Amino acid sequence: MYLEHFPMEGRQQGWIEVICGSMFSGKTEELIRRLKRVEFANQKVLLFKPKIDNRYAESAVVSHKGSSLDAIVIEKASEALKIWKNERVVAFDEAQFFDEEIVQISTELARKGVRVIFAGLDMDYLGKPFGPMPQLLCIAEYVTKVHAICVSCGNLAYISHRTVSESGQVLVGAVEKYQPLCRGCYNKIAH
């Protein structure tokens, strides 16, 4: 009788977490750390990465420091729901590269009791909000902003400064194309 009146009592609540910041700030490292803790607790995990990100490995999420976890490569956010089989934790690396539908999908997963974790750039190389990240930041219960160190002066980095002349918003790369800069050092270069 008790369960008839309170059908959700005692069941897992879902939520959304976002880890954001510039390149080289440890976003992926933090995502991997959280997922390893979940695996240690014997919870089932699904980890996704966008098809466009093939810098270090085809089917693994790899941090700049070399930590890695196996991942499922998807092109569109909607593919995640087709693959999901009631895993308690679903994570997405490089969330800025996914389509806007990821916002609706993460909300749906959280409604179903899933802990949804994102890691991604909050801004592009020009300091503009990147992809679906602004919406994900707004709907998340937990937001962690991590910072790289400015390679020019040592302050906390603000932006992923592009060091090559390509101008499209999306340019996958690492140290050969980007460097973290604080606001002051970036303003000296950009203006």
Give catalytic residue positions.
94
CA distance 68 to 32: 7
CB 95 within 8 A of CB 70: no
Sheet of strand 89-92, all strands in order from the earlier edge strand to the far edge: 72-74, 45-50, 89-92, 115-121, 15-21, 142-146
Q: At 34, list the tokens.
A: 């959280």
- The DSSP annotation for 119-132 comes to EEESB-TTS-B-TT
> What's the Cα-to-Cα distance from 72 to each of 13, 27, 127, 145, 162, rounded to whole Å?
25, 18, 29, 25, 28
Residue 157: helix, strand or coil by DSSP?
coil
